[in-house]
Amino acid sequence: MNLTLKPEFGLSGSALKVIAMISMVIDHVALYLMEYGTVLYETMRCIGRIAFPVFAFLIAEGFIHTKSRYRYFFTLLGFAVISEIPWYLLNGADGTHNVMFTLALGVATLMVLKNLLQRSLVLGFLWTIGMAGIASWLGVDYEWRGILVIVIFYLFNGYGHSFPYSKGVQFFCTFALMMYYGVIGAVMAYMFLYQYNGKRGCIDTYFVKNIFYLFYPLHLWILYLSLIHISEPTRRS
């Protein structure tokens, strides 16, 4: 992998997952429970922008190293479906879908792209653009940008080792996409990613990984119940 320091230093994949999870929770607490427009709200949302680039990076890494890409895809898809109920309760019928669908679509894109690249760069490009368009049409979180970021991480992780300045180009391309959601958050995300040491860390068994995935719908349910609790005194008054 291109983004590595010496193995004894830096952050493992598990450490990056924990950082992304904490960032995501901070972001969602601000989004659903905090008053919009305050300094605290904006600060928490800024920290929350760390999450997706890190998750996208880990999805690309996971795709490269997983023993079963089909199981990887269906695991993400399954948790996306489970997470859709609390997502709907929090967001209503706004036409959007949770980020687990984005990650699952990203893996589906990579599964076909890997084979297409062996035959034609043009077909690979068209497939990627098509899947990005589907992501936007479906209304998944981060839409087309999310798919492209996952693909860029995969291409440079899997094929960019001999490409000059591949690490810098990888960061530049993905940063240009993620800065739409906040420049400072994107910068912080890439500061963490730069520390990646290529190790998996403690979250490396199928059971532990599923607990990690389960955290996503669970934290949405907790946020929804918290929102109801906060809203009750207002309704009574």
Q: What is the pLDDT of residues 135-173, one digit of tens each?
A: 999 999 999 999 999 999 999 876 655 555 567 777 888
User: Buried b / exposed e across 120-133, counting CB within 10 Å, b at 16+?
Assistant: eeeebeebbeebbe
Quick check: 1 pLDDT over 50? no
Round the average pLDDT of the chain to a whole number and report it. 88
- CA-based radius of gyration for the chain: 18
Asked if 19 and 25 touch (Cβ cutoff 8 Å), the reply is no
pLDDT-based confidence at residue 212 (cuts at 50, 70, 90)? confident
Question: Could you say which DSSP state residue 203 is in?
Answer: -
pTM (predicted TM-score)? 0.89
